[in-house]
Structure 1
Amino acid sequence: MFALYLTADLQGVTNLRPDDTQDNPFWYMFKVQCTSCRETHANHVGVNRFETNEMSGSRGEANFVWKCKNCKGEWLAEGVETGTKFTGIDLEEGEWFEYDEKSNEEVSINDVKWEVRRS
């Protein structure tokens, strides 16, 4: 969770805050950058505390869900025993399945969990 901290010199007024109701939500506008490829989104992205979105590969919801268009299929992996190179892996759905012809076995990536931490 992120919190907005605001400081200001107030004279003759108190309790400064956004006008933020469900009928008239306050939109916070952010410039976002992908944590994987460091690409900055061309436009500002709006978020309010009342709007929720489903998170891909999860049962949860969040106020802000964004998928970097530059990172789709940008993951790589290698077969443990064979060294087979797998490219263009798309983890958007939180899982990936493929077949390693050198080992004649299925290979997979699943139960992927994403977390953004404060740096």
Structure 2
Amino acid sequence: MVKIALQIRAQFENVDKLYTNHPDYQWFLKLKCLSCGEESQKFHDLTESEKLPLAHMRSETNLAIKCKLCGRENMIDVVDQSNGFLTGDDTDFKTIVVFDCRGIEPIDFEPRSGWIAESANNGTKFQDVDLTSKEWEEYDEKNNVCVSIYELEWRFVKVK
């Protein structure tokens, strides 16, 4: 089992905090089979709160997929309570979630919608923020300012 963290960083304007609607957020990942090296062409989704039974192992997993090339069954789970958040003070990459990978590893991420952004100075909390385009902009009527997230980047890092 290998644990891999998804780390993000972004630039904020009048935003104090960015996080997901954990544990119901759908993580969209492209995956690579560690047995044969096959990389998925499409994004697979997994959600921490959704568990699939594995009868042959008497356990559960967030996502089990069979490699199209070598036929190996691989699994990936969101590590319980590993969800983090990004603040306006964070200037470097910060871990937002950790995945427990068995036979596969994530190679790409697509943020999509479901993020929550909290405006600075106890402003508005924006629900279901869509970061598909790697940027977002809105207006905080409570503070009469524009709020935005831009230059969103991510990377995967092996952790212990």
What TM-score do the two structures reach when normalised by structure 2? 0.39
The one of the two structures with greater contact order (alpha-carbon pairs below 8 A, sep at least 6) is 2
Relative to its length, the structure with more strand (as a share) is 2
What TM-score do the two structures reach when normalised by structure 1? 0.49
Higher gyration radius (CA): 1
